[in-house]
């Protein structure tokens, strides 16, 4: 998620239990673009020892190739092309998910990048723009250009984050493609991730929003893989996590008001599992000073030993957000 899953957040999630792979926020690519320094830091200064893929978002082939060449000078695990972002400000420029409207253009972009990238070349995409009409063609292009990994969000661009996830189409991609497929879309818990792995045959899961809500999710997936008891955080643990998030932004020198605004981006997701009536979210969103914000957090979380639910409460949702987080977790089939 742009402006959320940055270097400080990657560092923090690494302490709670890192994923197998990180994907950066996307580098915006256009005729005047340069590698954004704050995104580049999540590659060059990342302390987690987790491989980091550099994600790009653009449609101009000369500029995409130029950016790929610049990125290859840095310690990246590979280069990822975003063909899934559903933000209108992105797809209206024919970038992100907007590319899916034109399979011929996708063919050109994938071909140019595959020719340029000697190492790992990965793609993040959705099942289509406003329907899955071109889905089979898009899969053929992924195979044609020897993409090394496809992370597939099982919604259309128009479906954003609230339409039903079409897991059968992820299963189709897993069966038909020679490369590994990661399932993406509404993977809310370790149990849900394993169920979708069994149903789709995917090789892994890309988890974004629910890694923000539950930073222990990658640790829990590993514990499930090993047949170990899953770590069960309490609401008190969540209160400590919120302190860590706030301290993280303090190290960036952000003033109080924007610092609270940034914290709310995280709390919008965390709040999905704090109380079943959504009162935490309601009151948190109306707090504008640190003292009032943390008073709300203390009321719901401080010294509370109640378990933090693995799943969000039904009907409790974060505010719509059109820019997706980019952290992923490799999942192997259960023994």
- 178 found inside a domain: yes
Residue 206 within a domain: yes
Q: In this structure, what token pair is assigned to residue 326? A: 């980019």
Q: Are residues 220 and 242 in the same domain?
A: no
Q: Determine phi and psi for 323, rounding to 5 degrees.
A: -125, 120
Do 71 and 137 belong together in one domain? yes
Residues 100 and 190 placed together within one structural domain of the fold: yes
Q: What is the pLDDT of residues 290-301, one digit of tens each?
A: 999 999 999 999
Which domain range does residue 41 map to?
A: 7-229+320-330
pLDDT tens, position by position, 193-224: 999 999 999 999 999 999 999 999 999 999 99
What is the predicted pLDDT for the residue at 255? 79
Q: How many CB atoms lie within 10 A of CB 94?
A: 16
304: three-class secondary structure by DSSP? coil
**Are 270 and 193 contained in the same domain?**
no
Predicted TM-score (pTM) of this structure = 0.92
Q: Is the pLDDT of residue 335 over 80?
A: no
Is the pLDDT confidence value at 325 over 90?
Answer: no
Listed in sequence order, the DSSP H helices in 201-278 are 209-213, 217-225, 235-250, 256-270
């Amino acid at each position: 998620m742009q402006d959320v899953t940055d270097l400080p957040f990657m560092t923090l999630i690494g302490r709670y239990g890192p994923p197998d792979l990180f994907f950066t926020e996307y580098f915006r690519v256009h005729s005047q673009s340069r590698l954004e320094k704050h995104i580049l830091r999540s590659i060059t200064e990342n302390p987690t020892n987790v491989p980091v893929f550099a994600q790009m978002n653009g449609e101009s082939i000369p500029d995409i190739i130029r950016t790929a060449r610049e990125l290859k000078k840095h310690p990246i695990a590979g280069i990822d092309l975003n063909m899934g972002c559903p933000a209108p400000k992105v797809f209206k420029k024919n970038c992100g998910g907007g590319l899916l409207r034109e399979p011929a253009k996708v063919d050109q972009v994938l071909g140019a990048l595959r020719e340029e990238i000697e190492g790992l070349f990965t793609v993040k995409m959705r099942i289509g723009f406003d329907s899955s009409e071109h889905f089979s063609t898009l899969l053929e292009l992924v195979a044609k250009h020897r993409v090394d990994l496809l992370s597939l969000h099982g919604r259309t661009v128009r479906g954003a984050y609230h339409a039903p996830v079409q897991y059968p189409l992820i299963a189709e991609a897993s069966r038909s493609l020679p490369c590994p497929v990661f399932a993406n879309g509404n993977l809310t818990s370790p149990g849900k991730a394993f169920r979708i792995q069994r149903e789709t045959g995917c090789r892994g899961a890309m988890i974004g929003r629910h890694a923000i809500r539950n930073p222990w999710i990658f640790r829990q997936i590993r514990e499930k893989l090993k047949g170990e008891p899953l770590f069960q955080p309490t609401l008190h643990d969540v209160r400590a996590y919120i302190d860590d998030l706030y301290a993280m932004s303090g190290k960036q020198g952000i003033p109080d008001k924007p610092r609270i605004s940034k914290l709310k981006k995280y709390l919008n997701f965390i709040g999905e599992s704090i109380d079943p009536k959504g009162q935490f979210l309601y009151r948190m969103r109306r707090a504008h000073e640190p003292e009032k914000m943390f008073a709300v957090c203390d009321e719901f979380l401080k010294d509370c030993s109640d378990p933090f639910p693995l799943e969000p409460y039904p009907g409790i949702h974060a505010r719509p957000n059109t820019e997706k987080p980019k952290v992923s977790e490799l999942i192997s089939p259960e023994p």
